[in-house]
Amino acid sequence: MKLTSTKFFRTFSQPLWGNNPVSIQSLGICSALAVTVQLKTAVVMGISMTVVVAFSSLLISLIRNRIPRNIRIIAELIIIATLVILTDEFLRAFYYDISKQLSVFVGLIITNCIVLGRTEAFALSNPPHLAFIDGIGNGAGYSAALIMVAFIRELLGSGKFFGLKILPGIFYTAGYEDMGFMLLAPSAFIIIGLMVWLQKTWVKNDTK
């Protein structure tokens, strides 16, 4: 059996592209866009998100047979909130500047539809190792979308890549100007919209 056709691998790779949580399932856009002005914050946000999704899926999958059905949402929220608090405290202790920039958006991982969606739809009915991989896959898919948007916005908006100026000065002397619009909120919506367009066209051609 080829590696690419095992259930294990597919669980991981599907959310990365064909079933990307942000651009195809339209989940989790809430907190995604506000942190994409710079690559640095987008990467940190992506990693935090991946950690939270992966571990909450793992934990909930481990105790899935013990959670009574009618209080499962509360149980899930408590596990997710605990993980988010741990992440937030960690960021505050080691990356204070970034945590200041992310402000409330780390906390908003709790209500991010991806986390609750994955635990509801996948972790509650699958064994722990698959749930964990599914969490990592979805987290990575989310991060990929975030990083793509952040890359475009940072490059066009301020000519930088991870905070380093990469556009040579000659561009500016030749009359090139940074696009201030890219730093504002509306640009994120439009970039995501265009990304969705590109990807949907692409994915459709793949399956044909």
Cβ 20 to another protein shortest distance, Å:
12
Q: Which is nearer to another protein, 8 or 202 (CB)?
A: 202
Burial class (CB in 10 A: 0-12, 13-18, 19+), 58: buried
> Nearest-5° angle of CA 92, CA 93, CA 94?
100
- Contact assessment for residue 195 and residue 148, using Cβ atoms and an 8 Å cutoff: yes
Assigned token pair, 197: 């367009």
When asked if residue 189 is in the footprint of another protein (CB under 8 A), the reply is: yes
Cβ 61 to another protein shortest distance, Å:
20
Contacting range for another protein; rule: CB under 8 A; set: 8-16, 32-40, 126-134, 146-154: 32-40
- CA atoms 108, 112, 116, 118: torsion sign: negative
- Contact assessment for residue 34 and residue 115, using Cβ atoms and an 8 Å cutoff: no
When asked if residue 82 is in the footprint of another protein (CB under 8 A), the reply is: yes
Cβ 113 to another protein shortest distance, Å:
4
- CA atoms 23, 26, 30, 31: torsion sign: negative
Contacting range for another protein; rule: CB under 8 A; set: 37-45, 139-147, 161-169, 182-190: 182-190
Q: Nearest CA to 182 among 153, 150, 145?
A: 153
Q: What's phi and psi for 147, nearest 5 deg?
A: -70, -35
Q: Which of 44, 45, 84, 144 binds another protein (CB under 8 A)?
A: 84
When asked if residue 197 is in the footprint of another protein (CB under 8 A), the reply is: yes
Q: x/- contact string, 62-81, with another protein (CB under 8 A)?
A: -----------xx--xx--x
When asked if residue 152 is in the footprint of another protein (CB under 8 A), the reply is: no
Cα distance between residue 14 and residue 7, in whole Å:
10
Cα distance between residue 98 and residue 120, in whole Å:
31
When asked if residue 108 is in the footprint of another protein (CB under 8 A), the reply is: yes
By the criterion CB under 8 A, which residues form the site for another protein? 26-34, 73-74, 77-78, 81-82, 84-85, 88-89, 103-104, 107-108, 110-113, 116, 184-190, 192-194, 196-198, 200-201, 204
